[in-house]
């Protein structure tokens, strides 16, 4: 019997695990990831790829040229299809609170979102595809991206030409994201349409006039006004947005003064704003700023209120999700722990999630999909498992062969149908 892609991926498993753990030991935050980039370049060496690195960020782009010639139509060859596979590489400014042999060696930095698994999985896919180069009727772009965590690394790589790396824009783009709470291990999930929310921020500075805490009548206190804004913004969202159009506003930063008996000159806060609809976003962009200005005027204060758009909604192409369901179903066995229909390796999500992703930039330009992969370690209770971004997040790197297989088979299926 001819070995399957998954069989070959399992043979690569130990090497992929070693790579993941090497990445985990040296987590780097932001757009400049020199050690991460060096590990990726080393892992790709010898695969006969067209490799380039970024200028404004330490990205790696590698093009794998397929060896199968496209059938001719008329007097000209058909255009070679292209598929893009993406892995984000950056870590988070989180201090790891997990006792692992390969825990982070850098204080205040941790791969708490599983990007180290993403990189190892894409390297595995590159090796699987390189071994099948002669069967590929097109080209594969491997996008190793820094700065997903709030730095818009995808936008920077697009600006530097990643979508034209193979000579033309991809016919489809794919990304796989692991979750520390999703189970059973190895389950792949996704949905057509909106998968993840847009991410935006509201930054507010209330300006008053400081003074002694014993004489507030002689000052212009910005603190009560800022508190009123924080509370009132919650009511604004629930009273201006339809309950059938989800939106979330969470204030994650609030600061004013440093002494109990001193009224400060300013109070500041910042909120994240998430939604799935452009009309809702436009209304929140306008109304949140208007509300803060109105409250400040009512208190006789000045305010700087700025709404900053960040990542757009991550929207999956419906046909791409259909293809992913067929590919995953054929490439992976039933998941351990499943019963009945739940044993299928692919499950459709009933609702999107309010997290955000800069892979949305790629999906704005190219049809495709992001998929989620369960990487919860065995024996970890899903009710108490630490979520992505937690200092206690745990991911099972035994899932790497499945990650590599899914990415490789999605690439092969895309090139075959294009």
pLDDT tens digits along 249-298: 999 999 999 999 999 999 999 999 999 999 999 999 999 999 999 999 99
What values do phi and psi take at 344, rounded to 5? -60, 140
pLDDT, tens digit (0-9, with 9 covering 90-100), for 88-113: 999 999 999 999 999 999 999 999 99
Of the chain, the percentage scoring pLDDT greater than 90 comes to 90
399 against 418, higher pLDDT: 399
Six token digits for residue 68:
């199968």
Is 70 exceeded by the pLDDT of residue 22?
yes
pLDDT at position 182, please?
A: 87
Q: Among 42-51, 336-345, 398-407, where is mean pLDDT lowest?
A: 336-345
Note whether 251 and 350 are same-domain residues: no
Contacts (Cβ under 8 Å, ≥6 apart) of 350? 191
Give the Å distances, CA to CA, from 418 to 121, 176, 329, 371. Answer: 24, 21, 20, 20
Q: Are 191 and 219 part of one and the same domain?
A: no
- What's residue 67's pLDDT? 87
CATH assignment at residue 110: 3.40.630.10
The more confident residue out of 166 and 183 is: 166
Confidence of residue 74 (pLDDT cuts 50, 70, 90): very low
Residue 42 pLDDT > 90: yes
- The per-residue pLDDT of the chain, averaged, comes to 94
The verdict on 263 and 333 lying in the same domain is no
- Asked if the model's pLDDT at residue 343 lies above 80, the reply is no
Domain boundary among 294, 311, 328: 311
Question: pLDDT at residue 338 above 70?
Answer: no
Kindly tell me if the per-residue pLDDT of 418 is higher than 80.
Answer: no
CA 157, 158, 159, 163 torsion-angle sign:
positive
Instruction: Provide the number of structural domains found in the chain.
Output: 2
Q: Does one domain contain both 49 and 23?
A: yes
CA-CA-CA-CA dihedral for 403, 405, 410, 416, to nearest 10: 170
Picking from 311, 345, 364, the residue at the C-terminal end of a domain is 311
- Locate 166 and state its tokens: 């193979």
Residue 263: which CATH number?
Answer: 3.30.70.360
Residue range 381-398: average pLDDT?
Answer: 93
pLDDT at 337: 66
Residue 339 has pLDDT above 50, yes or no: no
Nearest-angstrom CA–CA distance, 132 and 127: 9
* Domain of residue 299, residue span: 198-311
The H or E element containing residue 177 is strand 172-179
Residue where a domain terminates, one of 273, 295, 311: 311
Helices (H), 217-358: 222-240, 278-298, 318-331
393 with 303, same domain: the answer is: no
Q: Are 92 and 204 contained in the same domain?
A: no
Same domain assignment for residues 18 and 110:
yes
- Does residue 71 have a pLDDT over 70? no
Residue 166 has a pLDDT of 96
Q: Are residues 168 and 215 in the same domain?
A: no
Residues 298 and 321 in one domain: no
Query: For residue 191, is pLDDT > 70?
Result: yes
Is the same domain home to 36 and 22?
yes
* pLDDT confidence of residue 73: 52
Nearest-angstrom CA–CA distance, 86 and 140 = 11
Contact by Cβ (8 Å): 288, 202: yes
Is residue 31's pLDDT more than 70? yes
């Amino acid at each position: 019997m001819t070995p399957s892609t998954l069989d070959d991926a399992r043979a690569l498993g130990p090497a992929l695990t070693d790579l993941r753990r090497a990445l985990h030991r040296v987590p780097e935050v932001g757009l400049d990831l020199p050690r991460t980039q060096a590990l990726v370049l080393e892992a790709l060496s010898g695969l006969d790829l067209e490799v380039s690195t970024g200028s404004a960020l330490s990205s790696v782009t590698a093009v794998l040229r397929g060896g199968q010639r496209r059938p001719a139509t008329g007097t000209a060859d058909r255009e070679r299809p292209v598929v893009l596979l993406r892995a984000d590489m950056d870590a988070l400014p989180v201090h790891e609170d997990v006792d692992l042999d390969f825990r982070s060696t850098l204080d205040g930095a941790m791969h708490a979102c599983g990007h180290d698994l993403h990189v190892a999985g894409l390297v595995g896919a590159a090796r699987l595809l390189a071994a099948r180069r002669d069967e590929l009727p097109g080209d594969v772009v491997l996008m190793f991206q820094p700065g997903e965590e709030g730095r818009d690394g995808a936008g920077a790589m697009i600006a530097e030409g990643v979508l034209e790396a193979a000579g033309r824009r991809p016919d489809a783009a794919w990304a796989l994201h692991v979750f520390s709470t999703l189970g059973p291990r190895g389950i792949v999930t996704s949905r057509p349409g909106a998968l993840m929310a847009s991410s935006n921020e509201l930054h507010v500075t209330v300006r008053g006039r400081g003074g002694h805490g014993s004489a507030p009548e002689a000052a212009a206190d910005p603190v009560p006004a800022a508190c009123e804004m924080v509370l009132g913004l919650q009511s604004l969202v629930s009273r201006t947005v339809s309950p059938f159009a989800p939106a979330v506003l969470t204030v994650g930063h609030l600061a004013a003064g440093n002494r109990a008996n001193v009224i400060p000159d300013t109070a500041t806060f910042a909120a994240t704003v998430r939604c799935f609809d452009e009309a809702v976003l436009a209304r929140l962009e306008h109304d949140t700023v208007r509300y803060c200005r109105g409250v400040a005027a009512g208190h006789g204060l000045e305010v700087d209120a700025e709404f900053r758009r960040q990542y757009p909604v991550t929207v999956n192409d419906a046909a791409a999700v259909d293809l992913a369901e067929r590919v995953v179903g054929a490439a992976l066995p039933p998941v351990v722990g499943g019963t009945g229909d739940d044993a299928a390796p692919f499950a459709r999500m009933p609702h999107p999630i309010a997290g955000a992703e800069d892979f949305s930039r790629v999906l704005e330009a190219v049809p495709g999909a992001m998929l989620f992969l369960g990487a919860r370690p065995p024996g970890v209770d899903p009710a108490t498992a630490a979520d992505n971004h937690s200092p206690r997040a745990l991911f099972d790197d035994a899932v790497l062969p499945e990650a590599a297989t899914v990415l490789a088979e999605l690439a092969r299926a895309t090139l075959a149908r294009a």
